[in-house]
Structure 1
Amino acid sequence: MAKSGGGAVRCQRIGCDAMFTDDDNVEGSCRYHDSGPIFHDGMKEWSCCKQRSHDFSLFLAIPGCKTGKHTTEKPVTKAVSANPRKPVPVPSATQNIKSDDSCSRCRQGFFCSDHGSQGKPSKPATANAPKEETVVKDPAPTKKIVNLNEPRTCKNKGCGKTYKEKDNHETACEYHPGPAVFHDRMRGWKCCDIHVKEFDEFMEIPPCTKGWHNADAA
């Protein structure tokens, strides 16, 4: 429940994240997921409704499958592992070279538990090679013709705020440029090198980059 007499507060249910007050907190105003996500071979799936996506941003945008009232109480939701732990054979040098191209996680830019520790050493280092860890500040996104006073939702990873284009500027958004990292039951962001075990903790990792809000982010 929202604090009596206070301003709007943010709903803590997974999949909602809306701002609300006591006056507008009616039954059915909140859409959320009531059980945790499953991460399996590059696929992300909500265990409560079986909706899935390979893209992490699209996965977080999947509408909740349950309705109810908003709440400020943080739900206890843990990620579900779809892969039991089992011995992994040590690949040969030939397998290491082609692993990045054949693995769906590697192709999507996610850190892969099977190839992540082998892919980088297999690439010859050169003195003039650019650093992969360099984070370049995003330029202002190409603007569409929109109403400057129209409320829009930022789709940058870790933001999700509602904004108006007239208030947008180069430091208005706080977000993660990514990619998200899932490795040996740990979750985190490669951009800020923070990793946690629980999905709730992962969702609470503060953004590490400032830039423009972008309602058209991929």
Structure 2
Amino acid sequence: MEKLRCQRIGCNATFTYDDNPDGSCIYHDSGPIFHDGMKEWSCCKQRSHDFSLFLEIPGCKAGKHTTEKPVFKKPAPNPRVPISSQTLDKNEAPKEACPRCRQGFFCSDHGSQAKSVDPKASNGTPSESKSVLQEVPAPPVKKIVDVNQPQICKNKGCGQTFKERDNHNTACNYHPGPAIFHDRMRGWKCCDIYVKEFDEFMSIPPCTKGWHNADPVS
């Protein structure tokens, strides 16, 4: 019997209707909340700043697999409290207090602000010489994996189980990224597609083919 892909958020497993016991699916039953660079599941309050780690947060509900895509109710937006100049610490730079700068976005108010100068580099010694003396870290050691061992691909948008013996340069369909969240829009910079709803974002088809990768950090 043909295997089907579960559509619940947080599951991504395959199943058949004859083998779908209750409790086999672990998933999130409420949508995410994005606020000031933080990603949070509204159903279990688990959160992360990193989008890849956010998607790896295990589900908090158990049930049966399904092919029906979930429909999430829009959570109430978190109230934004305006920051007045009187509430800022006198020693805190305006750029450090700007929410856009803290999230890594370009800010027209602080984009041209001069960077702070290292006082140790102002004694006539070029600051570049300091970086030359720093020890270069050794490259990470690649794990040795059995070619027949099942692994889960961690490339964004894939999540399939694979074996290294079957891996090749077009085996994986994925998004090289990065994921973009800005002004209530969600999308992928790699394929320049943006949507408003999170379930639509998760359904954006991958735009790149390559090797499956179970350990993208290394």
TM beyond 0.5? yes
| Alpha-carbon distance between aligned partners in 1 of 2:34 and 2:158, rounded to the nearest angstrom | 22
Gaps of 5+ in 1: 1-5, 107-111, 124-141
Q: Paired residue for 2:185?
A: 186
Query: What is the TM-score of this pair, normalised by structure 2?
Result: 0.73
Gaps of 5+ in 2: 85-92, 114-140
Identity rate of aligned residues, in percent? 69
Query: Letter of the aligned partner of 2:143 in structure 1?
Result: K
| Alpha-carbon distance between aligned partners in 2 of 1:52 and 1:97, rounded to the nearest angstrom | 23
Match of 1:27 among 22, 31, 37: 22
Secondary structure of the equivalent of 1:118?
A: coil
Bigger CA radius of gyration: 2
| Alpha-carbon distance between aligned partners in 2 of 1:52 and 1:96, rounded to the nearest angstrom | 25
How far 1:119 moved relative to its partner? Answer: 8.7
Query: Letter of the aligned partner of 1:28 in structure 2?
Result: G
Task: Answer whether contact 1:188 1:196 (CA < 8 A) is retained.
Answer: yes
Alignment of 1:16-165 (within 5 A): 16-78=11-73, 80=75, 82-84=77-79, 103=102, 105-106=103-104, 112=105, 116=106, 118=108, 122=112, 143-165=142-164
Larger RCO, structures 1/2 (Cα 8 Å, 6+ apart):
1
1:28-80 deviation digits (Å, cap 9, x = unpaired): 00000000001111111100001111111111111110000001111102554
Taking a change above 3 Å as real, the CA distance of residues 179 and 119 of structure 1, as seen in their structure-2 partners, is farther
Secondary structure of the equivalent of 1:64?
A: coil
How far 1:86 moved relative to its partner? Answer: 7.9
Q: Paired residue for 1:196?
A: 195
Task: Answer whether contact 1:151 1:163 (CA < 8 A) is retained.
Answer: yes
Task: Answer whether contact 2:32 2:42 (CA < 8 A) is retained.
Answer: yes
How far 1:88 moved relative to its partner? Answer: 9.2
RMSD: 2.9
How far 1:183 moved relative to its partner? Answer: 0.9
Taking a change above 3 Å as real, the CA distance of residues 43 and 98 of structure 1, as seen in their structure-2 partners, is closer
Query: What is the TM-score of this pair, normalised by structure 1?
Result: 0.73
| Alpha-carbon distance between aligned partners in 2 of 1:83 and 1:74, rounded to the nearest angstrom | 26
Taking a change above 3 Å as real, the CA distance of residues 97 and 54 of structure 1, as seen in their structure-2 partners, is closer
| Alpha-carbon distance between aligned partners in 1 of 2:214 and 2:51, rounded to the nearest angstrom | 16
Taking a change above 3 Å as real, the CA distance of residues 179 and 118 of structure 1, as seen in their structure-2 partners, is farther
How far 1:26 moved relative to its partner? Answer: 0.1
Aligned length: 183
How far 1:159 moved relative to its partner? Answer: 0.9
Match of 1:8 among 3, 11, 17: 3
Q: Which runs of 4+ in 1 moved over 2 A?
A: 78-89, 94-102, 116-123
Is the counterpart of residue 171 in structure 1 residue 170 in structure 2?
yes
How far 1:178 moved relative to its partner? Answer: 1.1
